[in-house]
Amino acid sequence: MSKVEKLISISPMAAHFARFIQSLEPGAGREVALAAALVSAEVERSNVCAFLPAFGGTLVSEALPFGEEECFPQLEEWLSALNASNVVGGVGDYAPLILDSAGRLYLHRYYNYERSVADMLISRTTKKLHSEKALTGLLNRYFPSKDDDPDYQRLAALCAATSPLAVISGGPGTGKTTTVVKIIALLQELAGDNPLAIALCAPTGKAATRLKEAVDSARDSIAAEAEVISRVPSEVYTIHRLLGAGSRGFRYGKGNPLPYDLVVVDESSMVDLPLMAALSDALSDECSLILLGDRDQLSSVEAGAVLGDISGGRLAEQFSKDFSEKAAAAGIAIAGEENSSLLSDAVVILNKSYRFNQDGGIGLLSGAVKRGDAVEALRILKSGDPELSFGPSEGVEFIEELRRITVKEGGEYLRLAANGASPVMVLKSFGELGILSSVRRGPLGVEGLNMEAEKALYEAGLIKPEGEWYHGRPVMVTANDYDLSLFNGDIGITLKDNASDKLRVWFPGAGDVARHFSPYALPAHETVYAMTVHKSQGSEFNTVFLALPGSIEGRGVTRELLYTALTRSRSRMIVRGSEDLVRRAVLSPTERISGLGEMLWGLKKDKR
């Protein structure tokens, strides 16, 4: 095997784990220690496992621990040493490290996470709910004929009504929430005098709030009787809250399942593998599951690309012959394949956007980015479309523009607060402008952008930052606090309480109310005039101002990151950065190493 240099960094934590593994088997050689360090490092990089064939015999760019050599062992001798080790087991064994037949090495718990999710999903593909013949009338009422051929919203409803698993993926404005609300009403009609217990949830408080707003809005457009509409849930949980998260773990899990007939998860692309495994363990065998999300967005910050793996990549929309016949009976014409996967009939991709003008700049640009067409993406970005603005992310003009737009659009929530608006209205107004960056540090990172935005608002007389806490300071929670039901990603606004003349931090609550806390009671948090693109998931803004860093800092700018930033905007997208960085981002899709896709579809996502 030829030796290829790889940029591999073994952190102190990964090296410490490797030494722990060595302590369990003192006679184990360098091969085992390096494998342990590598798999730990891969999990730190948000991969689920280490694919050893990609590393065997390769040089690395820095010295590896546990020996003088600066390369990994040759694959054959490496696998032989691991198979002979007592700390490495095969699939089904109880050992700290698990090695599968394809050469994927897992930490034991991560293999169990994948297996738990896969088993939960596959078990639901073999069960049937309602007959398609009983659905035609309801489908015609809830999803009347359109010009679309086939109508994939109608197809998603057929999937959810006939099977206890439905995965509905689509970009912004494709009608995912409207579709699922109609599906819930349809299922409640079918339930008759025995209403279904249904839970709606999302990964973060911010995403849960948006889901509630969308469900409340969609509820008014349902073609159903008032009693049926009243059965559409009005409360939305975070997944942590749904599972009963506490300091000792989750209340619900194996042996104590959730008391629901159907669980709906929005923004599923944000759900990491451990959390999806926890949810899988908490579902009873009789509980149906609907996953909503956009498979082309950024994956979770933590390990895994769960929705992407579940959605099947290129194999999605290759429905079985049996399902195509069911769809035909329900008035939907789709092609059927002879050799489809078990999951083929559970995944529906919505492609038509009803939010963006199909010929508008944001819609066209996000489509080109999603396809990986860098030439077309740059052409659209520089076309002068009124929805788009492109320019450099440097110089005095950039700073002046950032300050100007911060005061004009980002300061609206402060003007509302000054005029006595309610905390609920102030929180909603904060979504007018999203200032986003791909990185945290540096002048074009979140820290630098926050400083410039705060300075601009101060100079405009909208805030008085005379200490850490001040009226108008927006904060994002960065650590979960189960006692306060505040979770990573939740955004609050600091406002003066007129009754007590004290500062309180207000967060969205259930319904049209807001919850408030003392600033000093909050878990870890940070100022959030600007945020990373990762943290913006689950949010929408009228205007998005995206600052892309220079070439060195911009190594982490990927196709998914750029697509996610673009699709946060409702009406106006401002991109500041270089053409070269945009081009490289479009041509750089993210790869998360895991075995879940192969467990579900036979997909191999192991190339680095």
pLDDT tens for residues 43-75? 998 999 999 999 998 877 666 666 666 788 899
Distance from chain centroid for Cα 58: 33
Neighbours of 406 (CB within 10 A): 24
DSSP for 108-138 reads: HHHHHHHHHHHHHHHHHHT---S-GGGTHHH
pLDDT above 80 (res 125): yes
CA dist 49 and 94 (Å) reads 17
Ramachandran quadrant class, 454 (left: phi over 0; alpha: psi -120 to 50; beta: rest) = alpha
Confidence of residue 608 (pLDDT cuts 50, 70, 90): very low
Confidence of residue 556 (pLDDT cuts 50, 70, 90): confident
Q: Tell me the residue type at 117.
A: V
Strands 245-246 and 249-250: what pairing?
antiparallel
Confidence of residue 551 (pLDDT cuts 50, 70, 90): low
- Percent of the chain past pLDDT 70, that is, above it, reads 93
Rounded to two decimals, what is the model's pTM? 0.85
Using an 8 Å Cβ cutoff, are 68 and 58 in contact?
A: no
pLDDT above 90 (res 324): no
12-106 and 361-587 in the same fold: no
**Could you tell me the CA-to-CA distances from 445 to 178, 231, 361, 440, 568 in Å, in that order?**
36, 45, 26, 4, 18
Structure tokens at 132: 């398609």
Low-confidence winner among 111-120, 284-293, 330-339, 592-601 (lowest mean pLDDT): 330-339
Domain extent listing, the chain:
12-106, 127-352, 361-587
Low-confidence winner among 251-260, 525-534, 549-558, 578-587 (lowest mean pLDDT): 549-558
Neighbours of 338 (CB within 10 A): 6
Residue-wise pLDDT tens digits, 146-166: 665 678 899 999 999 999 999
Output the CA torsion 592→594→598→600 (10° steps): -90
Q: Is 297 helix (H, G, I), strand (E, B) or coil?
A: coil
Confidence of residue 552 (pLDDT cuts 50, 70, 90): very low
Residue-wise pLDDT tens digits, 169-186: 988 878 898 999 999 999
pLDDT above 60 (res 605): no
The sign of the dihedral angle between the CA atoms of 188, 189, 193, 194 is negative
Neighbours of 501 (CB within 10 A): 7
Low-confidence winner among 248-252, 349-353, 394-398, 560-564 (lowest mean pLDDT): 349-353
What is the model's pLDDT at position 606? 42
- What average pLDDT is seen over the chain? 87
pLDDT above 70 (res 4): no
Per the model's pLDDT, the better-predicted residue between 51 and 220 turns out to be 51
Q: What CATH number belongs to 361-587?
A: 3.40.50.300
Structure tokens at 286: 């009789």
CATH superfamily of 12-106: RecBCD complex, subunit RecD, N-terminal domain (1.10.10.1020)
Neighbours of 351 (CB within 10 A): 12
Using an 8 Å Cβ cutoff, are 48 and 309 in contact?
A: no
The sign of the dihedral angle between the CA atoms of 381, 382, 385, 387 is positive
pLDDT above 90 (res 342): no
Distance from chain centroid for Cα 362: 20
Fold of 127-352: Rossmann fold (3.40.50)
pLDDT above 60 (res 604): no
What is the model's pLDDT at position 395? 82
Structure tokens at 544: 């998005």
pLDDT above 80 (res 133): no
Q: Contacts for 515-523 with beta carbons within 8 Å, 24 or more apart? A: 516/423, 517/484, 517/486, 517/492, 519/469, 519/494, 521/484, 522/475, 522/477, 522/481, 522/484, 522/486, 522/492, 523/477, 523/478, 523/479, 523/480, 523/481, 523/484, 523/486
Q: Give which of 139, 237, 124 is closest to 187, Cα–Cα.
A: 139
Backbone angles phi and psi of 292, in degrees to 5 = -115, 145
Mean pLDDT value across residues 66-89: 87
Q: Give which of 602, 603, 605, 593 is closest to 105, Cα–Cα.
A: 593
Confidence of residue 315 (pLDDT cuts 50, 70, 90): low
What is the model's pLDDT at position 396? 87
pLDDT above 80 (res 30): yes
Q: Give which of 54, 60, 55, 47 is closest to 7, Cα–Cα.
A: 60
Residue-wise pLDDT tens digits, 424-440: 999 989 988 999 999 98
Q: How far apart are the first and last CA of the chain?
A: 16
